[in-house]
């Protein structure tokens, strides 16, 4: 039995969110146990999130992930806190949007006009199937651990993936908020450019109403340059008295220039407008940024 470092998971049709500008993440412990002669691996991950400008740790301390996994030919079983399979599919639908989540067109209120989802579940039991003929699936169950109530959460996904194409469907039910989410997402790489898109629907409580959301992204590599853009739109309706009804849209542009394999210059722009149920703007923001990024 050997202990060895483990690279972050990007297989099994799973996608991971991008780090927002001004925030950092560090996997304090990341490894795998290889049971020699047996096709099984046990993996663990403890990921802390912190604010880069102050150094303050976010709460909970292992906000990013705190998990233990067993992997083999059967797929993967994971226990603890980690991203949901619904979040994986939602990320697929924005995978060709602007390079950083701070500039993603759907961020900063566009996809939160009536309520938003839990991207991670605590005390979660998950199963991810192996990819079989391009098809994959996954399921999460989070037990509420509260006496006298039934607030369990669950999510599932199913998808198909080939070299240049991926499509997936996911559903997430959060009983504690009376919210149900369904997303259909896809990505296609044409060679000279690639696109991603998603349609998301939230069925909520009478107080919060229902959301319909759309996202579209495109990425175009040109030599050392990579240009990207995104658009997102959401509409909330059927809330009690129209109090939470409204519309929102976001538009984003970005560019990066590769100085080396792990170092890039970048520039980004994002425009967000949110309107309430009578059409008055409650948010009208623009974000500009330039900088250099190095991935360790």
Q: What is the pLDDT of residues 218-233, one digit of tens each?
A: 999 999 999 999 999 9
Q: Return the pLDDT at 8.
A: 36
Q: Confirm if 44 and 31 have CB atoms less than 8 A apart.
A: yes
pLDDT band of residue 215 (cuts 50, 70, 90) is very high
Q: Record the pTM.
A: 0.83
Q: Return the pLDDT at 33.
A: 65
SS3 at position 200? strand
Residue range 253-259: mean pLDDT, rounded: 95
Residue range 79-98: mean pLDDT, rounded: 93
What is the total residue count of the chain? 296
Q: Return the pLDDT at 32.
A: 61
Number of other CB atoms surrounding residue 149 within 10 Å = 9
Strand ranges (E), the chain: 2-5, 23-34, 40-51, 65-72, 75-83, 120-128, 135-142, 153-161, 165-174, 179-189, 194-203, 210-222, 225-237, 246-258, 263-275, 281-294
Residue range 150-159: mean pLDDT, rounded: 93
Residue range 137-154: mean pLDDT, rounded: 88
Residue whose structure tokens are 């192996």: 130
Query: Is residue 23 over pLDDT 70?
Result: no
Q: Confirm if 174 and 150 have CB atoms less than 8 A apart.
A: no
Q: Return the pLDDT at 27.
A: 56
- Parallel/antiparallel/unpaired status of strands 153-161 and 135-142: antiparallel
Q: Return the pLDDT at 3.
A: 38
Which tens digits make up the pLDDT trace of 156-193?
A: 999 999 999 999 999 999 988 888 999 999 999 999 99
Q: N- to C-terminal Cα distance for the chain?
A: 28
* 29/270: higher pLDDT: 270
Q: Return the pLDDT at 11.
A: 37
Residue whose structure tokens are 């169950």: 141
Query: Is residue 34 over pLDDT 80?
Result: no
Q: Return the pLDDT at 192.
A: 94
**Lowest-confidence range among 6-20, 98-112, 195-209?**
6-20
């Amino acid at each position: 039995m050997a202990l060895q470092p483990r690279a972050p998971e990007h297989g099994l049709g799973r996608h991971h969110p991008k780090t927002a500008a001004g925030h950092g993440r560090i996997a304090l412990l990341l490894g795998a146990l290889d049971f020699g002669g047996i096709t099984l691996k046990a993996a663990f991950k403890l990921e802390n999130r912190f604010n880069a400008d102050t150094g303050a740790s976010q709460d909970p301390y292992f906000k990013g992930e705190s998990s233990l996994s067993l992997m083999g030919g059967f797929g993967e079983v994971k226990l603890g806190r980690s991203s949901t399979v619904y979040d994986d599919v939602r990320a697929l639908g924005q995978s060709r949007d602007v390079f950083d989540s701070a500039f993603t067109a759907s961020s900063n209120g566009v996809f939160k006009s009536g309520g938003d989802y839990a991207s991670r579940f605590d005390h979660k039991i998950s199963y991810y199937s192996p990819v079989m003929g391009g098809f994959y699936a996954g399921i999460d169950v989070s037990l509420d651990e509260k006496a006298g109530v039934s607030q369990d959460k669950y999510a599932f996904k199913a998808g198909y993936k080939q070299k240049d194409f991926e499509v997936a469907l996911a559903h997430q039910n959060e009983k504690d908020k009376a919210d149900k989410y369904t997303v259909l997402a896809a990505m296609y790489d044409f060679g000279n450019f690639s696109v991603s898109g998603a349609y998301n629907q939230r069925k909520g409580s009478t107080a919060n109403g229902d959301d319909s959301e759309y996202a579209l992204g495109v990425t175009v590599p040109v030599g050392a340059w990579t240009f990207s853009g995104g658009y997102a739109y959401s509409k909330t309706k059927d809330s009690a008295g129209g109090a939470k009804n409204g519309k929102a849209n976001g538009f984003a542009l970005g560019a990066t220039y590769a100085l080396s394999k792990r170092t890039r210059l970048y520039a980004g722009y994002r425009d967000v407008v949110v309107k309430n149920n009578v059409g008055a703007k409650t948010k009208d923001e623009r974000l500009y940024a330039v900088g250099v990024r190095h991935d360790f």
